[in-house]
Amino acid sequence: MPALNAPSPEISALLFLALEAGREIMTIYQGDFTAAVKADGSPVTIADQAAEAVILAGLKESFQSVPVVAEEAVEAGHLPEVAERYFLVDPLDGTKEFVSQNGEFTVNIALVDQGVPVFGVVYAPVLGDIYWGGTLPADLSGEGTSESGAFKAKVQNGGIETISRISVRQSPFEGLSVLASRSHLSKATSAFIEQFQVAETVSVGSSLKFCVVAEGKADLYPRLGPTMQWDIAAGDAVLRAAGGEVLRLEDHSPVTYQVPPQAQKADLLSPFFVALSNRDLLGAAGLLAKAV
């Protein structure tokens, strides 16, 4: 396999922001902390807020022309007007995993362009794994020297080491490995999974599920429950760059992202979806014919 080029300066800046946010999170994770409850019943901690502050400051410095839609800012009533290009930030995806201290939480940074998550970073600071994938638009990518595709690296001593290219696997139609949310497995999701020939169902927290499919360790991840755009965009970008797809359950079209004018938080809800290595898995289960 040919040697991988180093990430471009612009992509390196995004990776650095994820690492910086992770450091803020780990400082709190390793101490005493408490969780508050948002209006929707989900938990929030000072780690969410500290990590988001780091990311917002860094994006403003490096990508001043691109608006940012970030979870905690939106919760506080700050949802900017955006055009076709914007960053989506979830500073701590999997706060329930953070609170339970199982390590399966992530920092998510994604760039959306014309409805498509064209680049994403997912960093799991406890696990020491960082994933990224996609390509920055030419006017944001300097000399455009970054490689397209999806990548995984280890984070050691505060730096990124052992970069490897990842891709989805050629999934069998029987004996599938299916991922389910550790904290949000619904009856509808369980019923959907039962339509496949499944060898194992593995519970994983946060947007790591997209990345596990992207690196060829699982076949699909269905979600028949509420998520927000910032929950899934970065993982979606990594999976698409690895050769997979994230499809709406309603009609099996690719999930799209948008922030309408004068948007409210509810406008950023994502549709029910399935993330998978190959849409033919739906056909093998007899589901493509059910598309509306």
Instruction: Give the residue ranges of the annotated binding site.
Output: 71, 90, 92-95, 231
- Which helix (H) or strand (E) segment holds residue 50: the answer is helix 46-62
Which residues, 6+ apart, have CB-to-CB distance to 17 below 8 Å? Answer: 54, 55, 58, 59, 62, 109, 121
Residue 126 Cα distances to 96, 199, 233, angstroms: 14, 28, 21
d(CA 98, CA 122): 15
Contacts of 71 (CB under 8 A, 6+ apart): 48, 52, 89, 90, 91, 228, 230
Is 78 in contact with 69 (CB distance < 8 Å)?
Answer: no
| Encoded amino acid at 131, one letter | Y
Q: CA 147, 159, 107: angle at the middle one, nearest 5?
A: 75
Q: Which residues are annotated as a binding site for substrate?
A: 71, 92-95, 231
Annotated binding site for Mg(2+): 71, 90, 92-93, 231
φ, ψ dihedrals at 16, nearest 5°? -60, -40
Catalogue the E-assigned strands of 52-158. Answer: 68-70, 85-93, 106-113, 116-124, 129-134, 150-156
Rounded to 10 degrees, what is the CA torsion of 42, 43, 48, 49?
90
d(CA 247, CA 255): 5
Q: How many other CB atoms are found less than 10 A from the CB of residue 102?
A: 14
